[in-house]
Amino acid sequence: MKITVVGAGAVGATCADNIARKELAEELIVLDIKEGFAEGKAIDIMQTSGLLGFDTKVKGVTNDYAATADSEVVVITSGLPRKPGMTREELIGTNAGIVKSVTENILKYSPNTIIIVVSNPMDTMNYLTLKTSGLPKERILGMGGALDSSRFKYYLSQELGCSQADLNAVVIGGHGDTTMIPLIKHATWNSIPVTNFLTEEQQEKVVSATMVGGATLTKLIGTSAWYAPGAGTASMVESIVRDEKKLISCGVALDGEYGQKDISLVVPVVLGKNGWEKIVNFNLSEQEQAAFNKSADAVRNMNQVLRD
Ligand code: NAI
C-alpha cells in the first residue's frame, strides 16, 4: 500500500504522522512545493519510528510527482490556511489554482487513485476535483465532516460531562461556519437522545460552538488548527485502506440524495476500499432539510466562482 500526502504544512504533516503511527501504508510520500520542506518533515517523522515502533517508510519530495506513482490514496492539503478573522471562503482564488494543478499532476502517475480533499473552502475544492479529475465520484472525498462531527462531540461532552467515546453525533451540510448543520436532535449518548439531558439553551450553545469551532481555534492559535484535521483525515484513510466500512461524514457528489444534485456536500457515507460505497440517509425533519437546502444554495454560489 502506498499513500501520498500533498502539502507538508501543519495539516499535511499531522495527517502523515497519524498515517505512519497507524501503519496504514508501507510507503508514504509527502510532497510540497517548498524546497526541502517535505523532506525535512518526513525525516522528522521517521526519527520517531525508533521511539514509537512503526514500520511505515515516510519519504519527502519537492514537487516530484513521479515519486507518488501508483498511490492508492492521495490526500490534498496544499493551499493557504485561514488567518484570524478570515472565512474559509476567502481562500478560494488561490487554493482553486493549487488544488487543480495538484490533481492533474497526481493523476498523471496515479490515474485510478482515491483522492481526499482537505484544502479550503473544502466543499468547492472537492467539487473542483470532481469536475477536473474525471475519476468515478466514489473515489473523491472531502474532509470536513469527520472534523466537524468530532468537534460536535467535544462540545457535547463538555456540556454533558461525559466521555466523547460514548457519543454519536453527526454534522452534515457544508464545511463552513454558517453552512454546517450539527444534527443535535439525532445525537445520542449511549443511544439515548442528548436532548433528554440538555435544555434548549444548552443545545443552542453546543451547536453554535461547533459551527465556529474552527474560527475559535484560528483566533487562539493565529492560524487554522491541525491536530484534529490531521486525525480526521487519517481516520478516513484508515477506513479506506483497511476496508473498515465506517460511517463517516464526508464531502461527496450528490446526485439526488438529500434532494440535491451537481454539488459536493457533507453527508454520512460508508467508507471502504473503493472509496465511498453508500450514502446513508437521515430522516431529516422539515427544518433540518430546509437548513440543508440553504447550505446547498450557499455552496452552489461559491462554486459559481469557479466558472467566473
Ligand atoms: P500550511 O500553510 O501549514 O500548509 C500548506 C502547505 O501547502 C505549505 O507547506 C505549502 O508550501 C504547500 N503548498 C502550497 N502550494 C502547493 C503546491 N502547489 N503543491 C504542493 N504544496 C503546496 O496550511 P495548513 O494549516 O496545513 O492547511 C492546509 C489547507 O487545509 C488550508 O487550505 C486550510 O484552510 C485547510 N484546512 C482544511 C480543514 C478541513 O477540515 N477541510 C481543516 C484545517 C485546514
**pLDDT tens per residue across all 308 residues of the chain:** 999 999 999 999 999 999 999 999 999 999 999 999 999 999 999 999 999 999 999 999 999 999 999 999 999 999 998 888 888 888 898 999 999 999 999 999 999 999 999 999 999 999 999 999 999 999 999 999 999 999 999 999 999 999 999 999 999 999 999 999 999 999 999 999 999 999 999 999 999 999 999 999 999 999 999 999 999 999 999 999 999 999 999 999 999 999 999 999 999 999 999 999 999 998 999 999 999 999 999 999 999 988 76
Best probe residue, ligand 1, of 4, 6, 33 (max atoms within 8 Å of C-beta): 33
Ligand 1 atom closest to residue 144's alpha carbon, by position in its atom list: 40
Do the bridges between strand 171-173 and strand 180-182 make them parallel or antiparallel, or are there none, so unpaired?
A: antiparallel
Instruction: Say if strands 188-189 and 192-193 run parallel, antiparallel, or are unpaired.
Output: antiparallel
Query: Which is the closest atom of ligand 1 to the Cα of 143?
Result: 41
Residue nearest to atom 7 of ligand 1 (CA): 78
Active site residue 186: no
Residues 6+ apart with CB under 8 A from 142: 116, 117, 118, 122, 123, 125, 126, 175, 250, 251, 252, 264, 266
In whole angstroms, what is the distance from residue 303 CA to residue 74 CA?
Answer: 23
Question: Atom 31, ligand 1: which residue's CA is nearest?
Answer: 81
Which residue is catalytic, options 2, 82, 88, 175?
A: 175
ipTM over 0.95: yes
